[in-house]
Homo-oligomer: A and B are copies of this chain.
Amino acid sequence: MRPQKVQDEQMLNGLMAVMRAKGYDGASLKELSEATGLKKASLYHRFSGGKKDMASAVLAHLEGIVNTHIYKVLTDESRPHTERLGKVISGINDMYKGGLETCMYRSLSLDSGISLFGDQIKQGIDLWINSFISFGMDRGMSRKEATQKANQTFIEIQGSLVLSKSIGSTQPFADVLKAIRKRYE
């Protein structure tokens, strides 16, 4: 077989960047092609289902990232709680470029995205929240308290990203990360 011009990971990063910024409807094949360095026909060769398949692959890729940078870190019982917490917060900060980047789940949460990928979105968010529930219970919280705090954590991150983007300042996001650290330490 002929070798891939662009490796999967690099291609997925390109697809992800465009879809995160433009949403599903706004992400055109033209832009996806430019961002990945592959011509439209080549993308169709790799994704026989077209743009739907690309978005689905992006969400699967993202779930892998959540798994690596959140779930695995928070449930790594070989490391102390404070170390896990610091690592996960720094990971989240990187994920959103300090508050400059939108959340992929939010970009794909308009009607078209929800109806096409609702299950995948829910699954990714569940993984995220469940990671924090496990961590909270591991820290001695009741299931109820851990669930409440995990939801609050997710809500604050999403909300602060909306606010940061809207007012053009990363301050709300940075403040929220501080509050989350305090919540769990």
Q: Report which A residues bind B (CB closer than 8 A).
A: 21-26, 102-103, 105-107, 109-112, 114, 118, 121-122, 125-126, 151, 154-160, 162-163, 165-168, 172, 175-176
Instruction: Tell whether, in the assembled complex, residue A156 and residue B156 are in contact, meaning their CB atoms are under 8 Å apart.
Output: yes
Bound-state Cα–Cα, A110 to B19, Å: 10
Partner of A110, one of B26, B154, B157, B168: B26
Number of chain copies forming the complex: 2
Instruction: Tell whether, in the assembled complex, residue A166 and residue B109 are in contact, meaning their CB atoms are under 8 Å apart.
Output: yes
With A21-B111, A25-B23, A111-B26 given, is the CB distance from A159 to B155 under 8 Å? yes
* Least CB separation from A107: chain B residue: B110
Q: What are the residues of chain B within 8 A of A166 when measuring CB–CB?
A: 105, 109, 121-122, 125
The A contact surface, by secondary structure, is helix
Instruction: Tell whether, in the assembled complex, residue B167 and residue A160 are in contact, meaning their CB atoms are under 8 Å apart.
Output: no
Bound-state Cα–Cα, A117 to B121, Å: 27
Q: What are the residues of chain B within 8 A of A168 when measuring CB–CB?
A: 118, 122
How many whole Å from A158's CB to the nearest CB in chain B? 4
Instruction: Tell whether, in the assembled complex, residue A163 and residue B154 are in contact, meaning their CB atoms are under 8 Å apart.
Output: yes
Across the A-B interface, the 8 shortest Cβ-Cβ residue pairs? A159-B159, A155-B159, A25-B26, A158-B159, A158-B162, A21-B111, A25-B25, A23-B110
* Least CB separation from A19: chain B residue: B110
Partner of A26, one of B26, B159, B163, B172: B26
Instruction: Tell whether, in the assembled complex, residue B105 and residue A162 are in contact, meaning their CB atoms are under 8 Å apart.
Output: yes
Q: What are the residues of chain B within 8 A of A25 when measuring CB–CB?
A: 22-23, 25-26
Bound-state Cα–Cα, A107 to B122, Å: 18
